[in-house]
Structure 1
Amino acid sequence: MGLPRTRQEIVRLLRCHGDMTVRELAAALGLTPMSIRLHLNRLQREGLVTARLERQPVGRPHHRYRLTAAADALFPTNHCALADSLLTALRQQGGPDQVARLCQEALTALAAPYLVQTDRPLTERVQALVRCLQHLGFLLEVQETPADLRLRALNCPFTVVAEHHPELCQAEQALVTQALGAEIDGLTVERPEHRLHGDPCCTYRIRGPAPVPAPA
């Protein structure tokens, strides 16, 4: 999980029981309530735990603690295998065109909240594209030269799926091109480096009649 052992145990108990009080956690782990509160405070600051006040018929109210949705990331998932299996089934039933269409629609939907209209200044479109790719899980390195702007993706959140379904990579490049409004400004978007072709990373090279501005 990447958490200290005691906090791992707290998270495990909350996952198993739904919600618990400080006293219940302390009894389960053989620790003092003060120690449990310190760990819970840290988990709350990290956005992994939330609390609600529960009033009792008799006595003082107490807090019950539960995991937030963000804590789901602490547990193993199999999203990539599921996505791979779904696209494989779609390919078998509908062919590669169906896979390409679904990849394009899915990426467009994921990106929509972060992009701006293509009638906005190019600087804003570039900034929005970088934010969008970062939200999708890319670790980006931006390189600006007099000749072009390069976006180097040092990782790829889709590698496991894209290895079997290259349509996902094609949809990604189409998204970059559309998000920039390449046709409006006469931009050329190329991918001279591609992880699936053996390169260390994917790089988008963006060129235009005028220098392409790097995001602030």
Structure 2
Amino acid sequence: MRGGQTAERLLYQLKSRGPQSAATLAAACAITPMGAHKQLQSLQEQGLVEADDEIQGPGRPRRIWRLTESGHGRFPDRHGELAVQLIRQAAAVLGEQALDQLIAARERDMAVAYGERLRSARSLQAKVQRLAELRAEEGYLARIEKAEGRAWLLIEDHCPICAAASQCQGFCRSELQLFRELLGPQVSVERTEHLLADARRCAYRIAPA
């Protein structure tokens, strides 16, 4: 594996799985711990990752690596600065109510497009998996994990519209409502982690109501 490809995989692992040790990253990327250390030091010099020493009982501290703000910036943001400008201008020129109407129109369009893709899914797991695939296609780095009982977690390790959502949280409310509408009244959908609440990702617990 080339050095550039290895570096990108390390960045992806940190983005999708959060802070980790070099040994854990090495195993995930199928490289040697020495190779991981070398790549991480290079990424640190570029300002893309940083490390802290974590004390866990007696012995040497454990070094944990994480993405910096620049590292997070390596992932697509859908021209966030332009989106923020447009949102501000729409609110100033058209008013907050008009902005809410635009978000509602976006939600309706997404409901139609997503609904077509989810129509053939029968089980709750199949529906959540299909939803994750749709979100992944849009840049959310979405995946699912089994939760306790009959529940599933829809996890989004990246938000390509984070800049817009931070300016107008109507986008976040709209997407939660969209998931609930798509999965129907027999399914409970709750956001358990939220980027805008200082979590490192967004996550939704989905279970039979």
Shift of 1:142: 1.2
Native 8 Å contact 1:114 1:128 kept in 2: no
Gap change, CA 1:78 and 1:169, over 3 Å in 2:
closer
Q: Measure how far apart 1:100 and its partner are.
A: 2.5
Between Structure 1 and Structure 2, how many residues are aligned?
132
**Alignment partners' CA distance in 1, 2:99 and 2:204:** 23
How far the C-alpha of 1:93 sits from its partner, in A, is 3.0
Change (3 A) 1:156 1:135: same
- Deviation of 1:80 after TM superposition, in Å, equals 2.3
TM-score (norm 2): 0.54
Deviations along 1:37-90, whole A, 9 cap, x unmatched? xxxxxxxxxxxxxxxxxxxxxxxxxxxxxxxxxxxxxxx998322222222122
- The structure with the largest alpha-carbon Rg is 1
Tell me the residue number matched to 1:143.
145
1:154 to 142, 154, 157: 157
Judging changes above 3 Å, is the alpha-carbon distance between structure 1 residues 156 and 143 closer, same or farther for their aligned structure 2 residues?
same
Q: Residue 82 of structure 2 aligns to a residue in which SS? A: helix
Which structure 1 residue ranges, 5 or more long, are not aligned? 5-75, 210-216
Q: Deviations over 1:161-216 (max 9, x none)?
A: 111111111111112112222x1x2x21111210001111111111214xxxxxxx
Tell whether the 8 Å contact from 1:193 to 1:201 is kept in structure 2 after alignment: yes
Q: Supply the AA of the counterpart residue of 1:129.
A: L
Matched-pair contact (CA < 8 Å) for 2:140–2:157:
yes
Change (3 A) 1:102 1:192: same
Q: How many Å separate the matches in 1 of 2:97 and 2:205?
A: 27
Secondary structure of 2:171's counterpart equals: helix
The answer to whether 1:129 aligns with 2:143 is no
Name 1:169's counterpart in structure 2. Answer: 172
Give the CA RMSD over aligned residues: 2.9
User: Following TM superposition, by how much is the alpha carbon of 1:156 offset from its aligned partner in structure 2, in angstroms?
Assistant: 0.5
Verify the 8 A CA contact 2:78 2:161 in the aligned structure 1.
no
| Structure 1 outlier segments of 4+, above 6 Å | none
> What SS does structure 2 have at the residue aligned with 1:155?
coil
SS in 2 for 1:115: helix
1:121 counterpart letter in structure 2: R
Report matched runs for 1:36-185 at 5 Å: 79-110=79-110, 112-116=112-116, 121-123=122-124, 124-147=126-149, 148-181=151-184, 183=185, 185=186
CA separation of 1:135 and 1:152: change in aligned 2, threshold 3 A: same
Question: Could you tell me the percent identity over the aligned residues?
Answer: 25
* Cα distance in 1 for residues equivalent to 2:138 and 2:112: 11
Deviation (angstroms), 1:110: 4.6
Q: Is the 8 A contact 1:104 1:172 kept in 2?
A: no
5+ residue gaps in structure 2?
A: 5-75
Using structure 1 for the length normalisation, give the TM-score.
0.52
Q: Structure 2 counterpart of 1:191, which letter?
A: R
